[in-house]
Amino acid sequence: MNLLLVTILPSFLIIIFFVKSEKFPEPTSSIIKIFCYGILITIPAFIINTFLGDFFSKLNISQNLIFSFLTAAPVEEGLKFFILYYVVYKMKEFDEPTDGMVYGVVASLGFATLENIYYVYVLKDYFETTSMALAVVRSFSAIPAHALFGAFMGYYFMKYAFISKKNNLFLCFFIPFLLHGFYNYLVVSNFLLVLVLLIIFWIIALRIFNNLKKSQTKKKVEFEKKIKIK
């Protein structure tokens, strides 16, 4: 039971933080729906990642660079993008700027939760460590990293949906893809640097999220003032 908690609890804590931090929280049913979609995309992600891994392993080129940027990063971020564009974008609940980051995080962590279970319970021997040790390490690295990728994807998706179509849909995929690729590349060789970079990018993401909340509150106050004047 303790192992399962360490494996899945970080994802739920991050989701709760984002959902409860919103000025106008999303319906629980919508959060569960997008979380489940995040779980479902692990199936095509596993199939495509396995195929690409087998394909690139036969090529006589830098394996770490290829595997970092041309397997999991584009595949997983592409599938998360699919959820935002084809599911979240059509939801009536998606009606406020902070919603983009919230749903981006939820979709990412739906994926990351099941992926984490697979790593901890199935791939532990591959890493030559205990399941608990792997779960603890990933709770400070892979889980917050996936949430971070989702937060930035959601931010640019929000800009595409509410502000400007120009470039933002491309950035919605490209920025998380780059972050994911660099994470995969560095985590093998310099884990400490990865943790430092995660902290820095989390600070940036949280500032963006807080600024969006302030903007929403300001607009709501201005709207209420206009009503009172009338």
Query: How confident is the model over 62-120, as pLDDT tens digits?
Result: 678 888 999 999 999 999 999 999 999 999 999 999 999 999 999 999 999 999 999 99
**Secondary-structure percent of the chain, ordered helix, strand, coil, rounded to 5:** 85, 0, 15
pLDDT value, residue 223: 36
pLDDT value, residue 216: 75
pLDDT value, residue 61: 65
Closest by CA position to 7, among listed 118, 171, 125: 118
pLDDT value, residue 185: 94
Give the chain's domain count: 1
Gap between the Cα atoms of 141 and 191, Å rounded: 9
Q: What is the pTM of this model?
A: 0.92
pLDDT value, residue 224: 38
pLDDT value, residue 220: 47
Residues belonging to the chain: 230
Stretches where the chain sits below pLDDT 70 are 60-62, 217-230
pLDDT value, residue 62: 65
pLDDT value, residue 226: 39
Residues spanned by the domain of 22: 2-229
pLDDT value, residue 214: 87
Gap between the Cα atoms of 168 and 21, Å rounded: 24
8 Å CB contact between 108 and 88: no
8 Å CB contact between 76 and 176: no
